[in-house]
Structure 1
Amino acid sequence: MEEAVTRKFVHEDSSHIVSFCAAVEACILHGLKRRAAGFLRSNKIAALFTKVGKSFAPAEELCRKAQELEQIIENKTSQAALPQQSMESGVPNIPPQAIKHLWVRTALMEKVLDKIVLYLVENSSKFYEKEAVLMDPVDGPILASLLVGPCALEYTKMKTADHFWTDPSADELVQRHRIHSSHCRQDSPTKRPALCIQKRHSSSSMDERPSPSPSARDYVESLHQNSRATLLFGKNNVLVQPRDDMEAIPGYLSLHQTADVMTLKWTPNQLMNGSVGDLDYERSVYWDYAMTIRLEEIVYLHCHQQGSGGTVVLVSQDGIQRPPLRFPKGGHLLQFLSCLENGLLPHGQLDPPLWSQRGKGKVFPKLRKRCLQGSSESTSDKEEDEATDYVFRILFPGSQSEFGKHLHASRSSRHVSCFCPCPYFSVYLPSLEALSLCCGLCFHLHRAPLKLLCDNMKYQIISRAFYGWLAYCRHLSTVRTHLSALVNHTIVEPDVPCDASSGLSLDVWQQFLQDSTAYEEQELLRLVYFGGVDPSLRKEVWPFLLGHYQFGMSEAERKEVDDQVRACYEQTMSEWLGCEAIVRQREKEQHAVALAKCSSGASVDSSVQRMMHRDSTVSNEVFESVEEVDQIETEPKADETKQVPKIPNGTLPNGTSSPDSGHPSSRNFSVTSGLSDRSLSTEDSVALQQPGPGKPEQPADDNPAAGTGSKPQAQLLTRKQEAKELKAVEETKAQGIKELLDMYTINLHRIEKDVQRCDRNYWYFTPANLEKLRNIMCSYVWQHLEIGYVQGMCDLLAPLLVILDDEAMAFSCFTELMKRMNQNFPHGGAMDTHFANMRSLIQILDSELFELMHQNGDYTHFYFCYRWFLLDFKRELVYDDVFSVWETIWAARFVSSSHFVLFIALALVELYRDIILENNMDFTDIIKFFNEMAEHHNVQQVLTLARDLVCKVQRLIENK
């Protein structure tokens, strides 16, 4: 609606249009009868407009155009229609977010939306229930009237000179902010939260100086009539002396009224005549002199009529006086007071009121000058004199102060006045008895003594201080409750003599390797936290930061760890490579069968069955040896019921390792329930204890019931039972192996797809190095088949491989990294915790930004941070910056916070907070902004701000 009032052209892709169409559609659908839109129609707006079109010509034409648009969109989606088709038909390219509001948007562009809504209002009983908005006798016609303005606008796809309202790119927003950031009033996010106490200025200062943000043009336009405020008075060349050491400068004085407040603005002429977009104009010093005054804070107006015009001094409740406003000649002072008096009605008034003259407007009230000693003289003996100085009070019934009540009660005559000196000039103040005006605070000389005034001011000051202190204590309690677990309680400051900002240097590291007692582990971590690691040292230092090595290990101990990891990695690779060979062979045979079926068209069910039988046979041959089966049949031992066949290289089918496998990480590996690891049942154990080769037969008389001819029969039954049980065991193993192969096949395909597209534009990832990436990923997933591969794991592995350039080392470090990162993926619950902590942090540290997020569609769920937390900002930064951020996160766990990723995320938001506030971003806007800003962030600035935010929370907790 603001665009409809202030703009001639609006860009068709503006997000304001999408929001506007959504709001209008909600109004139209509110209380709609089911039969009006059809019972089976999913698009109720389309059904309603179609029904209206049967009896209303503009709606009929709209339906035809909207249906054409729907057909074009459907063709583009299903048949990938060429762009020329839409150009030939004259149909604009519709943004994806506007498709669901297509009918309302088309009606708006065709300028018939107001007519259709008016028709619906006039025939509302036919379409709507009683509680509908359009059924309301007031709201319905108002809505139709409001739509006239937007329907009269011109909509364009061109980049005109007036394209401020289009959605700019993130880079353009940042550039705009940089132009005028030096003049914006920015509340530093590192300050303590502001208390809810109104700030008062000295008499020589301006009130609320308007910032040129978000746009100088917007501020200048706000001085004139607009949709948000009514202009009551405006006069140019009103003089104000901003400082004592400078001349009075002319400016534009304007009085504005909104539904809630009346505001007085004074703007230097240099800002009114400036060129928007000019850098000098944006940085003009005159922005510091412009002022905005809320009239509800003003109690007295000191007016002095001079020969050259008139002067007004505004005095607030606490006696602070604003600089005098000097009007030019021509009765502009009286005109200003008249507009002010009219604007105060009906909720407020001037005391004394201006007098009305028929046909001549308002005039000053008649006051007679008298001396204090002449109070006993008769009226006829008094010398009448026209008063040139006045004091007017602004009264709001029901909200008068105690002094105002005393003063108002003491007045019984408007024609009696007393003289009182003023710092600027002499004034006459109407009252019954002698009054005194001191610093703008009027009080009765006898009924309101100076002590009462001082006591009242003391009470107000103490009350403000107490409530401010109470609010801060509550705030501090909230901080301690919600944020104390997010940071370490020991504040670590960068040591200036040691210059921690330079980070871990080559000299310090070499000295540490030569003598591990030269530097403590905490000191090295502190250097990494504040300055990072020298790029040439990352290959050596990262294994320490990730836990592959422990600080203080000797070179021999580190070599022993490397040998163990390498043996483990080779063992794991041999296991999954054997499984992969079976998978490849099975896929090859399945592909051949599929080709044969397609070529012949004959049924190959029997062939498929034979192939599946052969698969199980091959699987048994690979995963089970003949000697092991013979051992089960011929040499059962006491713990025979717990034995299960082995996978090659010593790994058991249930994912554990045999004692001689030499697999240190085997305890982390388990297979899903498909592979049976259950022991044989009791009946199996009894059956296997029957006589067999190499075991003595039981005496015949052990079974008295058995005859001499029953022994061969009993042995035959025993053999059949053994064969049946052995077959059942083999079937169970075959089923478990099949499920294992299926599970690994799924993960293998996922890994291969992601590896091929992982940072393929980065110089390091040649085909040979992509093969290394695949090997490491397959090895990790083989050890964690219960979790499997999740998209994004390759993004976390890639930087490690780039730095370490060694498969076994990267595999070990990635395993250590995933101990923390694993819970961020969908199978874990860490992501919801991150979102909740972000909500608490930003609510306490930046309540203004949190309020904006809450109002604009409530995106305080912080889902736009999902990719940040999932990949440790890997896709938000270029590779060199990823290295710096990651090593800082790893060191921060021991130095300042194990949740340092939260503070990096908060720093990213705070870095652009002013841009977010200026553009009033909603959830869609902020996602678009940060997607476009990816790989364009100033990482050192982000890390510095993140460390400052950690320190701020620590100090809040300690109440320093």
Structure 2
Amino acid sequence: MEEAVTRKFVHEDSSHIVSLCAAVEACVLHGLKRRAAGFLRSNKIAALFMKVGKSFPPAEELCKKAQALEQIIETKRSQSLQSQDSLRRMPRLPSLTPKAMKNLWIRTALFEKVLDKIVLFLAENSSKYYEKEAVLMDPVDGPILASLLVGPCALEYTKMKTADHFWTDPSADELVQRHRIHSGYCRQDSPTKRPALCIQKRHSSSSMDERPSPSPSARDYVESLHQNNRATLLFGKNNVLVQPRDDMEAIPGYLSLHQTADLMTLKWTPNQLMNGSVGDLDYERSVYWDYAMTIPLEEIVYLHCHQQGSGGTVVLVSQDGIQRPPLRFPKGGHLLQFLSCLENGLLPHGQLDPPLWSQRGKGKVFPKLKKRVPQGSGSTDSVSDKEEEEATDYVFRILFPNSLSDFGETCLLQGIHFSLRFAHLCSTLECYMVSIVTPLKLLCDNMKYQIISRAFYGWLAYCRHLSTVRTHLSALVNHTIVSPDLPCDACKGLTADVWQMFLQDCNTYKEQELLRLVYFGGVDPSLRKEVWPFLLGHYQFGMSETERKEVDEQVRLCYQQTMREWLGCEEIVRQREKEQHAAALAKCSSGASMDSTSSKMVHHDSTVSNEVFESVEEVEQIETESKREEAKQVPKMNNGAVHNGPSSPDSGHPSSRNFSVTSGLSDGSLSTEDGAAPEAAPRASAKPPQDAGLTEQDKREKPNATKTEQELLDLYTLNLHRIEKDVQRCDRNYWYFTPVNLEKLRNIMCSYIWRHLDIGYVQGMCDLLAPLLVILDDEAMAFSCFTELMKRMNQNFPHGGAMDTHFANMRSLIQILDSELFELMHQNGDYTHFYFCYRWFLLDFKRELVYDDVFAAWETIWAAKFASSSHFVLFIALALVEIYRDIILENNMDFTEIIKFFNEMAEHHNIKQILTLARDLVYKVQMLIENK
């Protein structure tokens, strides 16, 4: 209804619809009688609606429509392998998500506007369909539920998305605000706590008509009642009666006693939860979960036991004096068995007072206590008769060694009982020692072997599992652990004082110490222009000022040489485009068909029209002369400035523009190998060798040198148009990118692509270059740093294979560190492929953060390579997911919803919180690998 306030239509695929249908179905099924839902029907809602339809016409019509829809879905599923023609003739199948398929009948009733009428009918005839504790049996709650559904049933639902009636789910900001309001605290695991190694097995998806599985918490609770590797089951008995309230009858349930390493726990679970009779209800909201008990034995002080003909009753009294509901055992001595198991479980840390006695042939028995006789009752004979009767009611006390006063008070009594029991045990052993010594020894050896075997194989399985995890994750982090518990200087980051001391004397701070400061606290904004070249590898830590100036000069010369080469190529491209455009206009004006013109313009190297040049021979002569002239001019341009005006050697008359491109490509300045130092280019250009003299190794290292002029023109033309399109729309709203600076961005991008034509330009490269240019504000320096950055980032683009590796590592990290979130991702359409992280890894979160936050994130990533992990981007991505994991779980997001959420949250993240959590996650994985 909140969504419908501002919109005339509500979309059928809205997550509100799924949540509403699930809530209504839980209310309608609450307290439903078995005979009303059908004994053999797995779809209880369908059975209920069909039963209601026999006496309520709107429900009858609904059943026909819902059954027809189910038939279409089933037919579509069974004939999925048929030809496309047969599938096309079938009725159009609604696109329902797995969550919507679970509530198909409720959803159909809502869209048909009869859901409120059916719920009202059920409320008015509730005694026929429901138990007395059901929601619809309540004279107030039932009609209120029907009234609340009148509004949703009055709305219009559509699958169309139009401009005037556009639908949206709650925005990301709204979801975050809701979470802040409803959650009292944020989930933050301690970084020192070892993550749980609970990698859950993937299950195949079941058909939609199967009974829905219980919630994870309910399933875990039921599974915890059995013996497992975490707890030992000491006692278990079904049909133990408990009366939760005075106004209701006793309920049978399963009583179990569990022992772990440090405590014992008593659990009682109603049979309705054990045998699955409420399996189709919401496990968490079922009334029977309110009656289930989990009692730590440390809280219990006294056990009041009453022997009766029916079997016996135990009342537990806790330390605060509160009595728990009585536990009524069935016939057969189960009360004594429970006390015996309890006493054995308490040893050696505690014991029952008084202890049970051991009787030959019977095992443990109640202690021989006599009933107390009230004073002044009857004659002496009657008193003696009563004293001979054994007591039927007992009060046992649980004693633990941490209560010294309790042990002190009962020390004498314990000694007496121990002496009696020890004497009885000795006499028993003396009688049977000879006859049972051999079988007893074999039994003990067999038990010892089984215990050791189980412990060994359990330990071996755990070690293998942990070894697999460590082996898989060990490559993601550095083995040298840098603890997050550092002095406050690391949180301040790299300050101006520290940097000045380092520049004055490089031995003052070691490289690792500076990187540690950057990793934990970032770089002072005023220092980024000086520090980033060091972080990216343009400079090496320890270089003197003179050495840094030499590097800058070499990079500047290399950049100028590259600029001259691609600008000359661009002149040729522009000239040919003008000629082709002029030829097309001439053909159009002369009335010639466009087909003949386009056929002549298919290849770039085709002969130009006679209307531009007088003859083909003249064109070839002009190109030949221009090649000779350019071959003489190129060596003189090595130390010259870049000229873009008409006075440039690359401009002017067409004959001077169409120089041979290969004449400037045979030297070492055009190597596309990422590992080659940029300053080596100008030195190698003094004596440019000819193409014919290149060895195979030279051709591999200098791919541009082996390309023909036409190949270079084709490659460059293709990349030029891509670059121009992306540069014009790159961060146009950011203050720095004026037309002048956009031209700088274009120059750097074209220079990089000219040296890497085999890779070519891919959309997104401008996003990686833009922050560098903003900080450095120098073309040559930004060109060199961008080249260094792309050595790592190049593999993220489609021509590399790093993306699949990122996705696989993200899957492993989530699966190990947050299995609950991983299970949700797997269930809701299985988006554990993590494709929603694609843009994060491609651009190093550049589009997820504002510019200031991008600067902080990038410098942390660069420093993390040496401080903690060369895959720190994985842990930033994991931190992004973990910060919003509660919102993802609360809203049960599927793949589409999580993409929409993170798209809307872009540039709204708290980068300090994200980086802190990312560093904690790195530390957690390091501690897991080190087994600490």
TM-score tier after normalising by the smaller chain length: 0.5 to 0.7
Question: What is the rounded CA distance, in whole Å, between the counterparts of 2:560 and 2:220 in structure 1?
Answer: 76
Structure 1 residues 840 and 557: alpha-carbon distance in aligned structure 2, compared to 1, 3 A threshold: same
Question: What is the rounded CA distance, in whole Å, between the counterparts of 1:859 and 1:33 in structure 2?
Answer: 23
Q: CA deviation at 1:796?
A: 0.2
Question: What is the rounded CA distance, in whole Å, between the counterparts of 1:891 and 1:678 in structure 2?
Answer: 45
Q: For 1:540, which of 530, 540, 554 is the aligned residue?
A: 530
Question: What is the rounded CA distance, in whole Å, between the counterparts of 1:456 and 1:561 in structure 2?
Answer: 77
Q: For 1:564, which of 554, 558, 570 is the aligned residue?
A: 554
Question: Equivalent residue for 1:923?
Answer: 895
Residue-by-residue CA offset, 1:23-45 (whole Å, 9 max, x unaligned) = 9864230224999xx86366354
Tell me, what secondary structure is at the counterpart of 2:847? helix
User: Percent identity between the aligned chains?
Assistant: 63
Answering whether residue 59 of structure 2 is matched by residue 14 of structure 1, we say no
Residue-by-residue CA offset, 1:573-599 (whole Å, 9 max, x unaligned) = 011111111111111111111222233
Answering whether residue 469 of structure 2 is matched by residue 479 of structure 1, we say yes
Q: CA deviation at 1:308?
A: 11
Question: What is the rounded CA distance, in whole Å, between the counterparts of 1:576 and 1:307 in structure 2?
Answer: 91
Tell me, what secondary structure is at the counterpart of 1:589? helix
Please tell me the residue identity of whatever aligns with 2:309: L
Answering whether residue 776 of structure 2 is matched by residue 804 of structure 1, we say yes
Residue-by-residue CA offset, 1:506-546 (whole Å, 9 max, x unaligned) = 00001111111111111111100000000000000000101
Give yes or no for contact 2:237–2:256 (8 Å, CA) kept in 1. Answer: yes
Give yes or no for contact 1:569–1:779 (8 Å, CA) kept in 2. Answer: yes
Q: For 1:392, which of 329, 352, 371 is the aligned residue?
A: 329
Structure 1 residues 179 and 449: alpha-carbon distance in aligned structure 2, compared to 1, 3 A threshold: farther
Give yes or no for contact 2:829–2:895 (8 Å, CA) kept in 1. Answer: yes
Answering whether residue 206 of structure 2 is matched by residue 192 of structure 1, we say no
Structure 1 residues 475 and 228: alpha-carbon distance in aligned structure 2, compared to 1, 3 A threshold: closer
Structure 1 residues 166 and 822: alpha-carbon distance in aligned structure 2, compared to 1, 3 A threshold: closer
Question: Equivalent residue for 2:309?
Answer: 367
Please tell me the residue identity of whatever aligns with 1:958: E
Q: CA deviation at 1:903?
A: 1.1
Question: Equivalent residue for 1:911?
Answer: 883
The range that moved more, 105-114 or 778-787, is 105-114
Structure 1 residues 795 and 592: alpha-carbon distance in aligned structure 2, compared to 1, 3 A threshold: same
Give yes or no for contact 1:544–1:551 (8 Å, CA) kept in 2. Answer: yes
Question: Equivalent residue for 1:43?
Answer: 88
Give yes or no for contact 1:881–1:939 (8 Å, CA) kept in 2. Answer: yes
Query: Counterparts of 1:601-640 in structure 2 under 5 Å?
Result: 601-602=591-592, 610-611=607-608, 613=616, 620-625=624-629
Query: Counterparts of 1:780-791 in structure 2 under 5 Å?
Result: 780-791=752-763
Question: What is the rounded CA distance, in whole Å, between the counterparts of 2:250 and 2:449 in structure 1?
Answer: 34
The range that moved more, 885-894 or 836-845, is 836-845
The range that moved more, 549-558 or 645-654, is 645-654
Question: What is the rounded CA distance, in whole Å, between the counterparts of 2:575 and 2:774 in structure 1?
Answer: 33
Question: What is the rounded CA distance, in whole Å, between the counterparts of 1:491 and 1:561 in structure 2?
Answer: 34
Question: What is the rounded CA distance, in whole Å, between the counterparts of 2:445 and 2:182 in structure 1?
Answer: 46
Query: Counterparts of 1:17-36 in structure 2 under 5 Å?
Result: 26-32=73-79
Give yes or no for contact 2:257–2:265 (8 Å, CA) kept in 1. Answer: no
Question: Equivalent residue for 1:141?
Answer: none
Q: For 1:836, which of 808, 812, 823 is the aligned residue?
A: 808
Question: What is the rounded CA distance, in whole Å, between the counterparts of 2:80 and 2:564 in structure 1?
Answer: 69
Tell me, what secondary structure is at the counterpart of 1:318? strand
TM-score (norm 2): 0.56
Please tell me the residue identity of whatever aligns with 1:569: Y
Question: Equivalent residue for 1:894?
Answer: 866
Give yes or no for contact 2:795–2:802 (8 Å, CA) kept in 1. Answer: yes
Aligned length: 642
Answering whether residue 258 of structure 2 is matched by residue 318 of structure 1, we say yes
Question: What is the rounded CA distance, in whole Å, between the counterparts of 1:646 and 1:765 in structure 2?
Answer: 35
Structure 1 residues 316 and 654: alpha-carbon distance in aligned structure 2, compared to 1, 3 A threshold: same
Give yes or no for contact 2:240–2:255 (8 Å, CA) kept in 1. Answer: yes
Residue-by-residue CA offset, 1:276-326 (whole Å, 9 max, x unaligned) = xxxxxxxxxxxxxxxxxx9x988695869999999999964138899999x
Question: What is the rounded CA distance, in whole Å, between the counterparts of 2:563 and 2:847 in structure 1?
Answer: 29
| Structure 2 residue runs without a partner (length 5+) | 1-8, 22-65, 116-148, 159-166, 200-210, 226-232, 280-305, 313-324, 345-355, 360-364, 371-389, 400-419, 430-439, 610-615, 634-658, 696-704
Residue-by-residue CA offset, 1:797-827 (whole Å, 9 max, x unaligned) = 0000000001111001001101111111111
Please tell me the residue identity of whatever aligns with 1:392: F
Q: CA deviation at 1:553?
A: 1.0
Question: Equivalent residue for 2:665?
Answer: 651
Q: For 2:495, which of 491, 501, 505 is the aligned residue?
A: 505
TM-score (norm 1): 0.55
Q: CA deviation at 1:868?
A: 0.8
Answering whether residue 155 of structure 2 is matched by residue 156 of structure 1, we say yes
| Structure 1 residue runs without a partner (length 5+) | 1-8, 50-65, 67-93, 115-149, 160-164, 198-225, 231-255, 265-293, 326-335, 347-363, 371-387, 411-415, 422-431, 630-644, 671-675, 682-732
Residue-by-residue CA offset, 1:614-647 (whole Å, 9 max, x unaligned) = 7766655544549889xxxxxxxxxxxxxxx974
Question: Equivalent residue for 1:180?
Answer: 182
Answering whether residue 864 of structure 2 is matched by residue 874 of structure 1, we say no
Please tell me the residue identity of whatever aligns with 2:748: I
Residue-by-residue CA offset, 1:733-791 (whole Å, 9 max, x unaligned) = 99922221121111100000000000001010000000000000000001111111110
Question: What is the rounded CA distance, in whole Å, between the counterparts of 1:341 and 1:96 in structure 2?
Answer: 31
Question: What is the rounded CA distance, in whole Å, between the counterparts of 2:369 and 2:830 in structure 1?
Answer: 56
Give yes or no for contact 2:258–2:266 (8 Å, CA) kept in 1. Answer: no
Q: CA deviation at 1:417?
A: 11
Q: CA deviation at 1:389?
A: 7.3
Give yes or no for contact 1:104–1:113 (8 Å, CA) kept in 2. Answer: no
Please give the root-mean-square deviation of Cα atoms over the aligned residues, in Å. 6.3
Please tell me the residue identity of whatever aligns with 1:836: A
Question: What is the rounded CA distance, in whole Å, between the counterparts of 1:615 and 1:850 in structure 2?
Answer: 67
Q: For 2:577, which of 576, 587, 595 is the aligned residue?
A: 587
Residue-by-residue CA offset, 1:98-124 (whole Å, 9 max, x unaligned) = 9xxxx999988864999xxxxxxxxxx
Answering whether residue 742 of structure 2 is matched by residue 770 of structure 1, we say yes
Q: CA deviation at 1:934?
A: 0.9
Question: What is the rounded CA distance, in whole Å, between the counterparts of 1:417 and 1:680 in structure 2?
Answer: 101
Question: What is the rounded CA distance, in whole Å, between the counterparts of 1:582 and 1:343 in structure 2?
Answer: 79
Q: CA deviation at 1:678?
A: 5.5
Question: What is the rounded CA distance, in whole Å, between the counterparts of 2:524 and 2:924 in structure 1?
Answer: 28
Question: Equivalent residue for 2:171?
Answer: 169
Structure 1 residues 177 and 401: alpha-carbon distance in aligned structure 2, compared to 1, 3 A threshold: same
Tell me, what secondary structure is at the counterpart of 1:317? strand
Tell me, what secondary structure is at the counterpart of 1:46? coil
Please tell me the residue identity of whatever aligns with 2:12: E
The range that moved more, 312-321 or 515-524, is 312-321
Please tell me the residue identity of whatever aligns with 1:922: D
Please tell me the residue identity of whatever aligns with 1:941: Q
